[in-house]
Amino acid sequence: MFRDSSREGDKPSQAASVLVVDGDGDFCELVSHYLTNSGYDVQTAPNEQAEINRLLIEPWQAIILGTVPPDLPGIEVLKRIRRASDVPVLIVSTCSEESDEIACLEAGADAYIRKDGPTRQLLAQLHAVVRRAANTAMTYSRFAPCERAVVVADLHIIPEAFRATLAGRSLELTRGEFTILLSLAKAKGNVKTRDHLYAEICGREYGIFDRTLDVHVCSLRKKLGDNPRNPRFIRTVRAAGYMLVDPDAS
C-alpha cells in the first residue's frame, strides 16, 4: 500500500476529474483522500463490471487502474479505454515483474507505478500526465488547423487528427508512440536526445532505470516494421538518442 509522503502545495491550478478503478476499497479510499486533498475531483469505481463500464464512458481527465475483478483484468480495461479514448491512464500494481510493466505500457498506459511506493510518486505522475494532456489539447486547438501533415517517404503523420499511416495503412499508436514519432519526424535527420523525448512523453526528467521510453520506441518500431539492427526509419544513436531518417534519401 502507498506510503504517505504528500505535502501541502501539491495542487493543480484547477480541479481535474480523476477516476480510480480498484477492487480494494481501502486502496480507493486512501488514493481518493490524497488526491482530493491535492485538488482533484475524484470518483472511485466499485468492484462491479457494470459500474466500471458506465464510468469508463465519462469524460475523465485521468484514470488510475489498480486491481480489478479477476474476470476483468486491468490490462483488458486499459485496452477497452484505448479503443475509445486517449485519456491519460496510470497503472498502479502490486506486481514487480518487468514483463507486466512492459505489457501495460505497450497497451497504452502513460505510467506504471507500484503500490508499495510513496503516495507522492503517484501525485507527481498524475500532475505530469494531466498537465501534458492539457498542454497538448491547447496546442492542437491553437495551431493544429494550420499544421500540415509530416511526410517521410510512405509515412504520413497528421498532427491535428492524431493519426499516422504507413503505405496507406493506418497505424494504431498509443499517445506516447504518436508523440515520439511526430517529434522524431519533425526533426528528421537530426538526433533527438533521450532526455528530450522522455520529457515530451512523460513530462518529467529521464530516470536511468525507467523503461518507458525504451518500451515506446520498441513498440513503435514493431508497428513501423523496423528491424532494430537495420532500421528503415528510427535509428539509435549510441550515447545520444534516436533519429528518424528518410529511407528514400539513403
Of residues 56 and 37, the one with the higher pLDDT is 37
Residue 20: phi, psi to the nearest 5? -110, 120
- pLDDT value, residue 142: 45
Which residue in this structure is represented by grid cell 535527420? Answer: 189
pLDDT of 5 strictly over 70: no
pLDDT of 11 strictly over 60: no
Q: From residue 66, give the alpha-carbon distance in Å to each of 57, 112, 161.
A: 18, 10, 30
Q: State the amino acid at position 181 in one-letter form.
A: L
Which residue in this structure is represented by grid cell 487528427? Answer: 161
162 vs 201: CA distance, rounded Å: 14
Residue 159, C-alpha cell as written in the block: 498532427
- pLDDT value, residue 166: 94
What burial class does residue 99 get, using C-beta atoms within 10 Å of its C-beta: 0-12 exposed, 13-18 middle, 19+ buried? exposed
Q: From residue 192, give the alpha-carbon distance in Å to each of 109, 128, 228.
A: 23, 21, 17
The answer to whether 210 touches 198, Cβ cutoff 8 Å, is yes
Q: pLDDT (tens digit, 9 = 90+) per residue, 55-95?
A: 666 788 899 988 654 455 667 778 777 776 778 889 888 87
- pLDDT value, residue 214: 82
End-to-end CA distance of the chain: 53
pLDDT of 196 strictly over 80: yes
What CATH superfamily classification does 17-139 receive? Response regulator (3.40.50.2300)
Residue 131, C-alpha cell as written in the block: 498537465
- pLDDT value, residue 144: 46
pLDDT of 97 strictly over 80: no
pLDDT of 178 strictly over 70: yes
pLDDT band, very low/low/confident/very high, at 228 (cuts 50, 70, 90): confident
In the chain, domain spans = 17-139, 147-249
Query: Using alpha carbons only, how large is the chain's radius of gyration in Å?
Result: 19
Decide which of 3.40.50.720, 3.40.50.2300, 2.120.10.30, 1.10.10.10 is the CATH code for 147-249. 1.10.10.10
The number of angstroms, rounded, from the C-alpha of 87 to the middle of its chain's C-alpha atoms is: 9
Least confident window among 25-34, 73-82, 178-187, 232-241: 73-82
Q: What percent of the chain has pLDDT over 70?
A: 76
pLDDT of 200 strictly over 80: no
By C-alpha distance, which of 63, 69, 71 is closest to 44? Answer: 63
By C-alpha distance, which of 180, 168, 174, 175 is closest to 214? Answer: 180
Of residues 66 and 192, the one with the higher pLDDT is 192
- What mean pLDDT is reported for the chain? 80
Q: pLDDT (tens digit, 9 = 90+) per residue, 100-142?
A: 888 888 888 888 888 888 888 899 889 988 887 776 655 444 4
Of residues 141 and 21, the one with the higher pLDDT is 21
